Amino acid sequence: MKNILLITLLILASAIVWADAMPDFRLQDATGKNVTLSELLDGNPLIIDFWADYCKPCKQSMPLLSDLAQRYEDITVVMISIDKPKDQQRAKNYLKQNNFKFVTLFDPDMTLAKKLNVSIPPHTFILDGKGEIVYSHKGFDPSVMEEYEAQIIALLKLGEKPPAQLEEKPGAQLEEKPGAQLEEKPVPELGEKPEPGIGDKPEPGLGEKPGQKPEKKLGEKQE
């Protein structure tokens, strides 16, 4: 029981769920250009990882973080080096040789790192699209990448826009045209013969067959 409690405390110490906003910063990239947090935020998740050239676990995490950035193109991975100025060139060379998909910044005085209580690298923060820190992890183990990915997937789903709905347009309605109305005829009573209408042929008389001409009587001329 004590071992379970100890493991739980260690997990809570290494993985912390935040609800605070990342403080805005202005740090230089590898070319000396100043970059701010506001410029990096574009409404999508952001991974910020503090590292140093001397940190072996940091370098172990980099290929996996780069792979994560390639598989989820909507996220941005920002690597912030806390190397001293004299060691920054080695850090730049290492990043250049490996061609990682990162935004690389430098915090040599650990100004931002101290605000976030970062003392030993690596220390990773995951931000939502508004700059809120939703997850933090100290140290590195390959198994933690599953947790990173789960956080990213959750954030991307939360940030999804509802699919655009097609504009409903009324379909073409058929124009109603008054049709030819049938002439109403009275129903003949029992024993009565209906009056012949237009196109009607008279019914044959008694003993006559349909189509048979009437017999000529004596003294009558056949027309």
* 66: CATH: 3.40.30.10
Blockwise average pLDDT, block size 10, the chain, 223 residues: 42 48 94 95 94 97 95 95 94 91 95 95 96 96 95 80 42 48 54 55 53 52 50
The verdict on residue 180 lying in a domain is no
Close Cβ partners of 102 (under 8 Å, ≥ 6 residues apart): 62, 65, 66, 69, 77, 78, 79, 95
The verdict on residue 133 lying in a domain is yes
Give burial (CB, 10 Å; 0-12/13-18/19+) of 145.
Answer: middle
Q: What is the pLDDT of residue 101?
A: 86
The verdict on residue 141 lying in a domain is yes
Q: What is the pLDDT of residue 190?
A: 56
Q: How many domains does the structure of the chain reveal? A: 1
pTM score of the predicted model: 0.64
Q: What is the pLDDT of residue 83?
A: 97
Range of the domain at 140: 17-158
Q: What is the pLDDT of residue 179?
A: 53
Q: What is the pLDDT of residue 20?
A: 85
The verdict on residue 101 lying in a domain is yes
Q: What is the pLDDT of residue 11?
A: 39
The verdict on residue 62 lying in a domain is yes
